[in-house]
Amino acid sequence: MKSNKPASVVLTLTNKTRMGYGFADFGFNLYYTGLNLFLLYYYTDVLEIRPAVAGLIFGLPLIWDAITDPIMGVIASRTRSRYGSYRPYLIYGSVPLAISFVMMFAAPVMFQNHVVLAAAISHVVFRTAYTVVSIPYSALSARIVSDSQERGMLAGVRMIFATLGGLFTVFATLELATYLGDSNLPAGFLGVSLIYATMATLIFTVTFLATAEQPIHTPTERFKFSQITAPLKHNRALWILIVAIVFGASGNAIFGKGLIYYIKYVAALDITITGALVALTGAVSLSVPFWIAVSRKLNKRSVWLIGSLITITAQATLYLTPPSSEAIFFALIALLGIASGAFNVTFWSMLPDTVEYGEWKTGIRDEGIIFGVNQLALKTASGIGISLLGITLEMIRYQANQVQTPETLQAIPQLVILIPLGLTILSAVSIAYYPINKHIHGRLVRILEWRRARIFS
């Protein structure tokens, strides 16, 4: 018989749970980093799809993905099983996700007379399958532990694995595609997708086995589908975080995808795309432990603002005084990676805190809808940013694998650096109003425990 007694609040986690939870983000980044950094380039320079069309193929499925995220959040938070609400999706969704990832690279090879249609459909299917696994995984962090500082540690471990997965992907993808495909890059990318899909599926199984959910009994469990917007209405902390991440994600999408074009066509330096991306991702990975330590001393909002200042400084320098040497270029890229580490650690530990803030304001707890709406905003911003990048590349008359005109070479830095810089400033201004710190969150947790004890006594 199910007890109505509220669950005790978990304040600390074992290293096994921290590592097990974070390990999944290595697997997610085998999918996510590869797509974010290489898919637009794959469409334009490998499949030779027109940049504007490629941008739409990449961006529109992200917007579709954003629409399905809140729906998946609602479904996951109302799932009841002996494994919990969120963990089952790591097992049951991982194989369809792996198949859809492989098909994204197989479809254009199999249907060479309909490359654009095959790429578009397979991308939509993959994004849907990714949502089914990634939304429950993200929401799981709010059920694993309720202490704000421990969530910061959990987010930090997650980001270490995420950046290690990204670093591996950056380092290995082009090399593996070239090796496996020989002179046939589409076939090479297909081989890479098979390897990554197999690795990710095994990793998700490890995370499922290493984690457990706290059974938190609140009135949310008895709510109807028509009431799913209730946790969002007065959640000021969530909306401020969403506004900040929309600006930040848009800028990151444009810079991250556009950097490949900047390196290949603009930077008159002896550097490779793989080398630059390894430097960027490696700096993120190495900086995460530092930012975890800083966030335990300062509030999370301050860490975000410090990261913004570093980003603004590095991007302004890159735009105003283009690097005259490889060393200066890599130093600026490393600074941007360090700043990205600050955003990653703070964002993924701030988001679970908004669950308790919303519950305090409304009396309703729903991790799934909060994480789903956040992903809606995040992916819509990324989709719009990437679509605009592709459309703008065509507007400035970019030609894949050709010598670019002087006007195009002048416009690429404006697109890839200047616009993201402005969006970073807007993100910093927004996050300055974020209302939660560790002391406020601690009080919220105690208040909510008291409320639950009264309700279920």
pLDDT 10s digits, 203-247: 999 999 999 887 655 544 454 555 566 667 788 999 999 999 889
- Nearest Cα to Cα of residue 74 among 214, 228, 217: 228
How many domains is the chain built from?
Answer: 1
Position 216 scores a pLDDT of 59
Question: Model confidence over 151-187: pLDDT tens digits?
Answer: 778 878 888 898 788 888 877 888 888 888 887 887 8
Residue 79 lies in a domain: yes
Kindly tell me if the per-residue pLDDT of 430 is higher than 50: yes
Position 302 scores a pLDDT of 93
pTM over 0.75: no
Percentage, residues of the chain above pLDDT 90: 25
Q: Place 6 in a pLDDT band, splitting at 50, 70 and 90.
A: very low
Position 5 scores a pLDDT of 43
Position 2 scores a pLDDT of 38
Residue 30 lies in a domain: yes
Residue 300 lies in a domain: yes
Question: Model confidence over 386-415: pLDDT tens digits?
Answer: 778 878 888 888 887 778 888 888 898 889
- Nearest Cα to Cα of residue 218 among 339, 363, 73: 363
- The span from the first CA to the last CA of the chain, in angstroms, equals 16
| Burial of 104 from C-beta contacts in 10 A (0-12 / 13-18 / 19+) | buried
Kindly tell me if the per-residue pLDDT of 450 is higher than 50: yes
Burial track 384-422 (b if 16+ CB lie within 10 A, e otherwise): bbbbbbbbbbbebebebeeebeeebbebbbebbbbbbbe
- CATH number of the domain within which 425 lies: 1.20.1250.20
Q: Mean pLDDT, to the nearest integer, of 313-325?
A: 88
Residue 72 lies in a domain: yes
Residue 8 lies in a domain: no
| Burial of 202 from C-beta contacts in 10 A (0-12 / 13-18 / 19+) | exposed
Range of the domain at 57: 17-212+229-456
Residue 223 lies in a domain: no
Position 197 scores a pLDDT of 95
Question: Model confidence over 23-59: pLDDT tens digits?
Answer: 999 999 899 876 766 777 778 877 888 877 887 887 7
Higher pLDDT, 186 or 318: 318
Q: Mean pLDDT, to the nearest integer, of 364-371?
A: 78
Q: Place 1 in a pLDDT band, splitting at 50, 70 and 90.
A: very low
Q: Place 456 in a pLDDT band, splitting at 50, 70 and 90.
A: low
HEC states along the chain? Answer: CCCCCCCCCCCCCCHHHHHHHHHHHHHHHHHHHHHHHHHHHHHHHHCCCCHHHHHHHHHHHHHHHHHHHHHHHHHHHCCCCCCCCCCHHHHHCHHHHHHHHHHHHHHHHHCHHHHHHHHHHHHHHHHHHHHHHHHHHHHHHHHHCCCHHHHHHHHHHHHHHHHHHHHHHHHHHHHHHHHHHCCCHHHHHHHHHHHHHHHHHHHHHHHHHHCCCCCCCCHHHHCCHHHCCHHHCCCHHHHHHHHHHHHHHHHHHHHHHHHHHHHHHHCCCCCCHHHHHHHHHHHHHHHHHHHHHHHHHCCHHHHHHHHHHHHHHHHHHHHHCCCCCHHHHHHHHHHHHHHHHHHHHHHHHHHHHHHHHHHHHHCCCCHHHHHHHHHHHHHHHHHHHHHHHHHHHHHCCCCCCCCCCHHHHHHHHHHHHHHHHHHHHHHHHHHCCCCCCHHHHHHHHHHHHHHHHHHHC
Residue 217 lies in a domain: no
Position 266 scores a pLDDT of 82
Question: Model confidence over 95-147: pLDDT tens digits?
Answer: 999 999 999 888 877 887 888 888 889 889 998 999 999 989 988 887 887 77
Question: Model confidence over 52-93: pLDDT tens digits?
Answer: 788 788 777 777 877 788 888 888 888 888 888 899 999 999
Residue 420 lies in a domain: yes
